[in-house]
Structures are given as structure tokens and as C-alpha cells.
Amino acid sequence: MKKLLGIVVLFLIITTTAYSDVKSRYSIGERINNKVILDNKISVKLSDGEWVIVERTGWRWGNYTGQYIFLVKNIKKEIAETISLGFLNTGGKRMADINSYLYEVVFLNKHDGCYGRPEYYKLELFHKGAAINCMIISHIDVNKEIYNPDDKKLAYLNANTIKWIDENSIDLPKIMLSSDHIFFSRQTSSKFYTLNHNINPKFYNGPKTEFITEETSEYHPFNIDKHPKHEKFMNKFISSESSLHMNIEESIGIKRHQKLQLSKYINKKAKIKKEVGGDIVFKISELNVLYKSGALTKEEFIKAKKKLLN
């Protein structure tokens, strides 16, 4: 799913003639902390530690513009966490063509997309007309994802990542937990947004991984019920990613009827505990999202907010 925005952009390169680079907020190799900013609507709070920008680009094709950022946190030369986020601004042009192509990419893609696949652990989807709101929880075989993707025609999209890995002697985890988030609703924005987040369980108190391919992994839906520790850790990950998704829905301004019903996945106690020590404004915003979704009662919200302010 990291490649989804690349597929959409490739279509625009082929079907339009005017192309130019657009200056991006970040530079490759830049090290950042605290949060990454995509545009005036979306920013993502980063986990503690130093992150490096591995890829970034901004583009313009005729009436279309876009941004893409890929950043990594590594610990002792091993990847601990990655985030990729981007948007394609359709500008309200050629809507019928854009709608048709987005449907093909998101729902008819042979190798990935917002439809049920055996390797997906959770899929939550709203789709009506051209509007798409999708969250996918899965695991990835990292070596396969980077060096031998299912769609060989898109392998070139990993070229810059591979170069960075080689130049910096980075060790890859065998398995990472992954979440994908897709948003497109012309009622709120002309932008098609994608976000992908991956974590290495090793650095987040996850159980040891013994089986290291996509099919044999303890996190595969067909295997996970035989590995209760991995299932428990996966459920914590789902809780965290559901909160992330809900925050982005709020930031974009997704209409209530288009939002996903994710509060059922959120572990309230774990979420509040996780928020201690972060940015107060961000934490209050997240508490507000949980309260509006029904995951927190009014009393719990007031109590948690008061604790932060004190």
C-alpha cells in the first residue's frame, strides 16, 4: 500500500504532459523530531527519537499537484518504525476520469487495495460514490516488500529506499506490523490522501518473532490464534492505529456519515497511559476525538483533560 500513491501518480504522468517539481517542506537526509507535516490539514506526531527523511518529493502535472514523504526511525542501524504519507490534489478537474482510475487502483488492484485479502488482519471501509475512507491492518515481510514486491512493474518505487539502506548499512527487520490509511472525499477536500505506518515489534515490547515470511508469520490471520502473545500485541497496535486514523479524519474534516467505526478497537486505558509526557495540545485533541467517538465518557474526558492541564 506504500505504492498506492505512486500508482496514481504514474497514471497522471502518462496521461498529462505538463510536469514540474514543487518545492517540498523537507530535504532528503534531514533529521526531525516530534511531528511530520504534510500540509495544512495533516501532521503526524512522531514517537520519541530521531527520524530521518529518506524520500520526499513535490510535483505538479497541469492542474494536479502532490506531495510525498517517507521517513524512518532506526535504532542502532536497525529500522524501528517507518511512516510514508502523501496526497494527490485532483483540483476538481477531470472528475469522471479520476473517479474511474481511483476505483481501479483502490478496489481492482491485483496485489493490494481496500478489499478483503487473506493477509489482512483488519479491513474497515467506507465507500460510496467517489468517497473512500479505508484502514487496513496487516503485517509485512520486509525483504519481500522492498526487494521482491508482488507487482514487479512497481519495484522501481523502492529504488531510493534501497539506496539509503545500502549507503547507511541498515539492518532490516524480518516482519513489521503495518497500517494503511486512505481518505478521499470531495465533500471535504479535493485531495486523495494516503498514509502508511510500520513498526518493528522488537522495539515496542512485542513478542519475539520466530517465523519470518509473510505466510508463516505469527501475525498472519491464519496463524495468530495459535500465538496469544502476538495476538495481544497486534490488538494493541490496532488500538493505536485506530486512534491515528480517527485523528486524521478529524483533521481533514471527514463528514460524520463517512467516518469509520473504530472506537470499538481502542483500548482506553492503554491509550491514556501512552499519552503521558507528550505535547499537551496534541493529547487534548486526541482525548477529544475519543470523547466524540464514545470511547470515553464525559466524566473520563474531563478527568483526563484536567490531569493533563495540571
**Of 134-138, 146-150, 160-164, 180-184, which gets the smallest average pLDDT?**
146-150
* 154 and 10 fall within a common domain: yes
* 103 and 189 fall within a common domain: yes
* 284 and 257 fall within a common domain: no
Model pLDDT for residues 205-251, shown as the tens digit of each residue: 999 999 989 999 999 999 999 999 999 999 999 999 999 999 999 99
Cell numbers for 102: 481511483
Between CA 64 and CA 62 the distance in angstroms is 6
Predicted local distance difference test score (pLDDT) of residue 18: 43
For the chain, the domain total comes to 2
Model pLDDT for residues 72-98, shown as the tens digit of each residue: 999 989 999 999 998 988 877 778 877
For range 152-176, the mean pLDDT = 86
* 86 and 147 fall within a common domain: yes
Share of the chain above pLDDT 90, in %: 52
Predicted local distance difference test score (pLDDT) of residue 268: 63
* 287 and 217 fall within a common domain: no
- Is residue 222 situated within a structural domain? yes
Domain that holds residue 287: 276-310
Tell me the pLDDT band of 16, cut-offs 50, 70 and 90: very low
* 121 and 198 fall within a common domain: yes
Predicted local distance difference test score (pLDDT) of residue 80: 94
pLDDT at 121 over 50: yes
- Is residue 303 situated within a structural domain? yes
Q: Are 111 and 151 in contact (CB under 8 A)?
A: yes
* 308 and 220 fall within a common domain: no
Tell me the pLDDT band of 275, cut-offs 50, 70 and 90: very low
Which residue's C-alpha cell is 481518505? 183
Predicted local distance difference test score (pLDDT) of residue 304: 79
- Is residue 174 situated within a structural domain? yes
- Is residue 271 situated within a structural domain? no
* 172 and 302 fall within a common domain: no
Rg for the chain, CA atoms, rounded:
19
46: helix, coil or strand? coil
pLDDT at 279 over 90: no
Model pLDDT for residues 284-299, shown as the tens digit of each residue: 666 776 776 676 788 8
* 257 and 297 fall within a common domain: no
Between CA 179 and CA 137 the distance in angstroms is 5
* 225 and 165 fall within a common domain: yes
- Is residue 87 situated within a structural domain? yes
Stated as kind and residue range, the H or E segment containing 80 is strand 78-89
Task: Please name which of 173, 108, 175 lies closest in space to residue 138, comparing C-alpha atoms.
Answer: 175
Model pLDDT for residues 186-211, shown as the tens digit of each residue: 889 989 999 999 999 999 999 999 99
* 242 and 148 fall within a common domain: yes
Model pLDDT for residues 21-52, shown as the tens digit of each residue: 556 689 999 999 999 999 999 999 999 899 99
* 84 and 187 fall within a common domain: yes
pLDDT at 272 over 60: no
For range 121-148, the mean pLDDT = 93
